[in-house]
Structure 1
Amino acid sequence: MKEQSKQSLPGIPTLLAAIALSAATLWLLVGGIQQEDPVRTIAAIVLGVLLTVGLGGFFMVEPNQAAVLSLFGKYVGTVKEQGLRWNNPFFAAKKVSLRVRNFESGKLKVNDLDGSPIEIGAVVVWQVVDSAEAVYNVDDYESFVHIQSEAALRAMATSYPYDQHEDGKISLRSHAAEIAKHLTEEIQERLAQAGVHVIEARISHLAYAPEIAQAMLQRQQASAIIAARTRIVEGAVSMVEMALEQLSARNVVELDPERRAHMVSNLLVVLCGERGTQPVVNAGSLY
């Protein structure tokens, strides 16, 4: 079922013509009764019935709205010209909004790729692009959009871990753009048959489930501490190496292997310690 354009008459001129015909019908009816002319009377009655039926052909189309027309259950076309329109009075018109709409899903509880329970929610921006598919391919396209979007969000959430444990690996928390693109494609694939175009889909809520939130927080803190310590050690080793090279190059002092090892140990303690060091000054010995 694909959308087909259907021509319709402008409503204002048609309404003026109907008013003129109504006046003519009234004139025929009054004249037929006064002159006792059955032909004029019957003609006026028939014309009045036709005008009454014809009034059912008027319908209103608002901006960014479409009227899906059907004749005794058969789709005949879609009218998108805005304003008052007129068409076959036997056509049934169903209005479909073409405006951009959005909704926020509820907080879904799912398991990520690592099996950890998480809470996730998303905002989906969408609009109807094919009115015929939206009306006839699905029963209720708005409910269809909501349900399928949540199903796509669940499927997407199980494809990625919550946190990035390895460099270059996509995760829900660290790669917002990639996740949004995947989610949009996942929802669009499910809604294509409903004549709906997904403009954007982004995660609006992401958190660990309450039962493991504290444990995962400790895990994140441990990971951060390890990463910081690794960076500190790398910097400390570089500074020690530079200090030894500078002392040797400038001939400041000659260190044997034992004193060199002792100096390296002291420098690493100073550079890697969490607290400020308190040096002990050796003033020499009396003997």
Structure 2
Amino acid sequence: MLEKEIKVYSGLKMLIVNLIMLVLSVVIGIAGIKGVIEGGAFLNVAEIILGCVLLVVWCVHLGGFFTLQPNTAAVLILFGEYKGTVKKDGWHFTNPFYTKKKLSLRSRNLNGEKLKVNDEMGNPIEIAAVIVWRVENTAQSFFDVENYAEYVKIQSESALRHLAGLYPYDITDEAKHLSLRGSADEVSEALRLELQERLAKAGVVVEEARLSHLAYAPEIAAAMLQRQQASAIIAARQMIVEGAVGMVEMALEKLSQKGVVDLDEERKAAMVSNLMVVLCGERSTQPVINTGTLHN
């Protein structure tokens, strides 16, 4: 369905016309009744009929008045045929036989429920999203889907389930550059684009889509926490070892350049071992003072 705007009249101007019509119907009716009582001429009977007709028309016209608040639209239908949409706020008048169906054009929040799905690696996770959307095409929202609000909710859940299966929860391979946890902006934009494609049929515009909840499922949460802790410990150890090797290398080079002491290969190996223990150990080492010679 293509949306089209229809022209309506000012409610204030038509109110004046209706008041004039009401006054005329009363005046003509009273004059006719008075004439019938006095003489009963045919013209007086016609005046009574005309007054009644004007009164009926006035009553029917009352159904043509309607008001619209800002960011609200009215879909006008005449005997099952779509005639147009009114989006201008204010007090309006239109054909009284039009059926007026009002729709809100304001932005709405859809706070989705937590869904239990599998990520790209097959791990069960819990995920939820917040969707900000609004109606853009009133004809599509009203005629192309049964219930556009329910349609948005169901399609949002479907899109979120599909998206969760395209990305891993976290980056476990250097070849993977995107993850649900580490690439929130990219994942949110991908969700918004997919939702926009799905909801275009309902005349809905998706303004924003964000993940509101993301976690491993309870049955594997503990195991995944241990895995993350192990990965963090390994990464920290690698950094410590790299730094310790650099410090030992620098110490040996300085001692050799300044000629402070001349160490053979065996003494160098012992020194390297001691320094590595001191630099890489989790606890502080206790110093031991050598009171003998270098080789004792």
TM range (shorter): over 0.9
Supply the distance in 1 between the matched residues of 2:138 and 2:257 (Cα, whole angstroms).
Answer: 81
Q: How does 1:97-246 map to 2 (within 5 A)?
A: 97-167=104-174, 169-246=177-254
Q: Residue 26 of structure 2 aligns to a residue in which SS?
A: helix
The structural deviation recorded for 1:8 is: 0.3
- 2:11 aligns with 11
| 2:46 matches 1:39 | yes
Q: Residue 284 of structure 1 aligns to a residue in which SS?
A: coil
Q: Residue 58 of structure 2 aligns to a residue in which SS?
A: helix
The structural deviation recorded for 1:16 is: 2.1
| 2:191 and 2:209 in contact (8 A); partners too | yes
Q: Residue 22 of structure 1 aligns to a residue in which SS?
A: helix
- 2:103 aligns with 96
- 2:90 aligns with 83
| 2:134 and 2:206 in contact (8 A); partners too | yes
Q: Residue 191 of structure 2 aligns to a residue in which SS?
A: helix
| 2:116 and 2:127 in contact (8 A); partners too | yes
Letter in 1 for 2:28: L
Supply the distance in 2 between the matched residues of 1:5 and 1:246 (Cα, whole angstroms).
Answer: 84
| 2:61 matches 1:57 | no
The structural deviation recorded for 1:108 is: 0.3
The structural deviation recorded for 1:71 is: 1.2
- 1:264 aligns with 272
The structural deviation recorded for 1:248 is: 1.6
Supply the distance in 2 between the matched residues of 1:204 and 1:137 (Cα, whole angstroms).
Answer: 30
Supply the distance in 2 between the matched residues of 1:140 and 1:52 (Cα, whole angstroms).
Answer: 34
Q: Residue 35 of structure 1 aligns to a residue in which SS?
A: helix
Structure 1 stretch displaced more, 235-244 or 133-142: 235-244
Q: Residue 254 of structure 1 aligns to a residue in which SS?
A: coil
Residues 56-108 of structure 1: per-residue CA shift (max 9 Å, x gap): 11111110011011111111111011111111111111101000111210000
Supply the distance in 1 between the matched residues of 2:109 and 2:45 (Cα, whole angstroms).
Answer: 62
Structure 1 stretch displaced more, 196-205 or 253-262: 253-262
Supply the distance in 2 between the matched residues of 1:242 and 1:184 (Cα, whole angstroms).
Answer: 53
Supply the distance in 1 between the matched residues of 2:261 and 2:79 (Cα, whole angstroms).
Answer: 103
The structural deviation recorded for 1:166 is: 3.0
Supply the distance in 2 between the matched residues of 1:184 and 1:72 (Cα, whole angstroms).
Answer: 38
Q: Residue 207 of structure 1 aligns to a residue in which SS?
A: strand
Q: State how many pairs are aligned.
A: 286
| 2:24 and 2:54 in contact (8 A); partners too | no
What is the percentage of aligned positions where both structures have the same residue?
55
Unaligned runs of 5+ in 2: 37-43
The TM-score, its normalising length taken from structure 2, stands at: 0.94
- 2:41 aligns with none
| 2:64 matches 1:67 | no
Structure 1 stretch displaced more, 254-263 or 108-117: 254-263
Supply the distance in 2 between the matched residues of 1:177 and 1:250 (Cα, whole angstroms).
Answer: 55
Supply the distance in 2 between the matched residues of 1:93 and 1:230 (Cα, whole angstroms).
Answer: 70
Supply the distance in 2 between the matched residues of 1:219 and 1:143 (Cα, whole angstroms).
Answer: 40
Structure 1 stretch displaced more, 237-246 or 132-141: 237-246
Letter in 1 for 2:117: V
Residues 179-227 of structure 1: per-residue CA shift (max 9 Å, x gap): 1111111111110111111010001011111111111111111111111
Greater than 4 Å deviation, 4+ residue runs? none
Supply the distance in 2 between the matched residues of 1:178 and 1:238 (Cα, whole angstroms).
Answer: 38
Supply the distance in 2 between the matched residues of 1:260 and 1:158 (Cα, whole angstroms).
Answer: 55
Supply the distance in 2 between the matched residues of 1:24 and 1:241 (Cα, whole angstroms).
Answer: 109
The RMSD of aligned alpha carbons is 1.3
The TM-score, its normalising length taken from structure 1, stands at: 0.97
Supply the distance in 2 between the matched residues of 1:284 and 1:252 (Cα, whole angstroms).
Answer: 18
Letter in 1 for 2:198: R
